[in-house]
Structure 1
Amino acid sequence: MSLPAWVFGQNRNPKFPWKLGVVTDEISQDLEWALEFLRNYSLQYCELRELWGKNIMNASPEELERAKKLLRKYAVRVSNIALPIFKYDLPEMPAPASQRDVFRAQFTDHDTERLLEKAAQLSHFFNTPLVRIFSYWRVEDPEKAYPFVRDRLARAAEVARRNAMVLVLENEHTCNVGTGRELARMLKAVNSPHLRGVWDPGNAATMGEAPYPDGYQAVRGLFDHMHVKDLLKDSGKWAWAPVGQGVANFPAVFKALARDGYSGSISLETHYRRADGNRLESTRESLESLLKILRETAA
């Protein structure tokens, strides 16, 4: 399969000290299109969330096998599997109803045990220990939900230990762990090598936390994966923006990562869409800006 030349820019990815990749469905629901895109930027890692219009949790065995063969064909490794575990209501404290992004997945807490079992299967199948999870839909007073969330995450970490995987908790502004500070507090409380962080400075910025220095200093040393997205205020509301054109201050973040010897993985999860809605071109715009920032940081 070959994509038209106009899809790709001229920038290629030099060697960086991190496992740099992209969430594939931010490029295309067609995994092969996404992997072709990554190859043309010399990226060797990806994050899996949706495949061919399905959440990976709902993919058939045949689709998973097809994905594995394509990853082998394009020599791309999976850095992290992005699952919707705990992206539903906390039974003791349901959140107010609102529009929510569940990425083609509708589950409840009754599904948690089954989802964790499936997570272990996917982790082993795609040869990656990292599985992304959340912290339940955010309630009006997250402090009241905190002990319930903490205890459930601790039990999940024990399941992860038994299955030789690492659950990585993402700070998500619609969930009870929304900022870097909240992420650090939860990870320190559970205190398990099988529960680490996915630091998303863009998500935290929507809640008023400065990615650097505030967010980074809180989560330093506690995360094994990171999401890159940017945002700015548009008519008083937050809107996703091309990387480098918002408030996330990635030059300072990447300098801090290099200084502190971060060796984990990083995924572009831009969420930004151009006015024409072109998913692939929107991701390309952010990726080329991200690579430019990384080059300047390394200079």
Structure 2
Amino acid sequence: MKLGVICDGISRDLPYAIDIMDEYDLTYAELQYVGAHEVGDHSAVEIAEIDRLLRDRGKPVSCLSRHIFAGMTSDNRPGDPLHSQHMDALKRVIEMAQIVGSPLVRIMTQRKEQILWGRHGAEQWNVARGAWDSMAPMIAPAVDLARAEGVSLVVETGNGTMVNSAYTARRLIDELDAGDALKVLWDPANACWCHELAYPDGYETLRGGYLGHVHIKDVWVDTPRAMLEIREMGKGQLGPLFAPMADALRGDGYAGVISFESVYHPGNGDFEAGFRACIETFKALFGDR
């Protein structure tokens, strides 16, 4: 399978990150922060330098991952100042994607409301009424832009975002009738926070053409105590699920990239050490067999 890494999880120094990628035979570069800037904020000269470096080093870009729409709320509306700011950023990221040859651009969704739907009284007393319905109108212009520009968007299953599970991601795509331009960036570890079982439940939800990109890390969540711990690969609650998940991806002929998300450190803030502690396990699980 196609394996890569979110480069700034190793280092925002892209040449150095590529050196480490070469050390571990990782091919696909996902870009989020490069140098001092998030993707979408680089100058034309900087983008040209990034493109030249990646092509010279044989590292195709899998996805450009800016936090589009993150931080918005259900009080925002299409065309308001914050939405317009995010749409302008999306346009810049799409322009960069066309230069560096990225097939995907990530978007997020607005801040999470805990209870979106209810029955038998909950719909009256507990649901954040209107929160879910406010989202599709804000995402629709992004889908239209992607169609016009010939790129594909992926919406991430985030920790604190309205789309925080495979279920909510698929529901959004269906409501927008946007399967041609919008897929799911599945981060099964993020979906642990809402207690969606990654495999088989989450994976089965995304079968049938919804899956566009994958982030892999391992975690341990304690939702009642509002505590999230990043764990060494294979030592968190996803540990027993990674192998059947990888087998399902192989069996289904998944053609996208699986990006290792290097956000673990061993207690000392050294994320490169965390990367080195995890990457061989990641490759053994998700690499070709």
TM-score normalized by the length of structure 2? 0.87
Alignment partner for residue 239 of structure 1, among 226, 229, 238? 229
Which residue does the alignment assign to 1:162? Answer: 148
Matched, 1:286 2:278: yes
Please tell me whether the aligned partners of residues 244 and 293 of structure 1 are also in contact (alpha carbons under 8 angstroms): no
Which residue does the alignment assign to 2:185? Answer: 198
Per-residue deviation, 1:243? 1.6
Give the aligned residue type for 1:290. Answer: F
Q: For the residues of structure 1 that align with 2:43 and 2:25, how far apart are their CA atoms?
A: 29
Secondary structure in 2 matching 1:89: coil
Please tell me whether the aligned partners of residues 197 and 223 of structure 1 are also in contact (alpha carbons under 8 angstroms): yes
Alignment partner for residue 165 of structure 2, among 179, 187, 192? 179
Secondary structure in 1 matching 2:40: helix
What is the number of equivalent residue pairs in this alignment? 268
Please tell me whether the aligned partners of residues 93 and 145 of structure 1 are also in contact (alpha carbons under 8 angstroms): no
Measured against aligned partners, the alpha-carbon deviations of 1:215-237 in whole angstroms (never above 9, x if no partner) come to 11111230110000110247953
Q: How does 1:119-158 map to 2 (within 5 A)?
A: 119-143=93-117, 144-158=130-144
Q: For the residues of structure 1 that align with 2:105 and 2:286, how far apart are their CA atoms?
A: 26
Q: Give the RMSD, CA atoms, in angstroms.
A: 2.0
Please tell me whether the aligned partners of residues 240 and 270 of structure 1 are also in contact (alpha carbons under 8 angstroms): no
Give the aligned residue type for 2:61. Answer: V
Matched, 1:224 2:216: no
Structure 1 moving runs of 4+ over 6 Å: none
Secondary structure in 2 matching 1:273: coil
Q: For the residues of structure 2 that align with 1:291 and 1:140, how far apart are their CA atoms?
A: 35
Per-residue deviation, 1:147? 1.7
Matched, 1:211 2:198: yes
Measured against aligned partners, the alpha-carbon deviations of 1:11-56 in whole angstroms (never above 9, x if no partner) come to xxxxxxx321000000011000100111122221110000113212
Q: For the residues of structure 2 that align with 1:256 and 1:89, how far apart are their CA atoms?
A: 35
Please tell me whether the aligned partners of residues 192 and 221 of structure 2 are also in contact (alpha carbons under 8 angstroms): no
Please tell me whether the aligned partners of residues 205 and 211 of structure 1 are also in contact (alpha carbons under 8 angstroms): yes
Which residue does the alignment assign to 1:28? Answer: 11
For structure 1, the 5+ residue unaligned runs are 1-17, 95-106
Secondary structure in 2 matching 1:206: helix
Matched, 1:271 2:263: yes
Change (3 A) 1:118 1:233: closer
Kindly, what percent of the aligned residue pairs are identical? 28
Please tell me whether the aligned partners of residues 39 and 93 of structure 2 are also in contact (alpha carbons under 8 angstroms): no
Q: For the residues of structure 1 that align with 2:115 and 2:99, how far apart are their CA atoms?
A: 38
Alignment partner for residue 34 of structure 2, among 47, 51, 75? 51
TM-score normalized by the length of structure 1? 0.84
Measured against aligned partners, the alpha-carbon deviations of 1:43-98 in whole angstroms (never above 9, x if no partner) come to 2111000011321222222222221121122110100000111112136269xxxx
Secondary structure in 2 matching 1:58: coil
Alignment partner for residue 73 of structure 1, among 39, 56, 78? 56
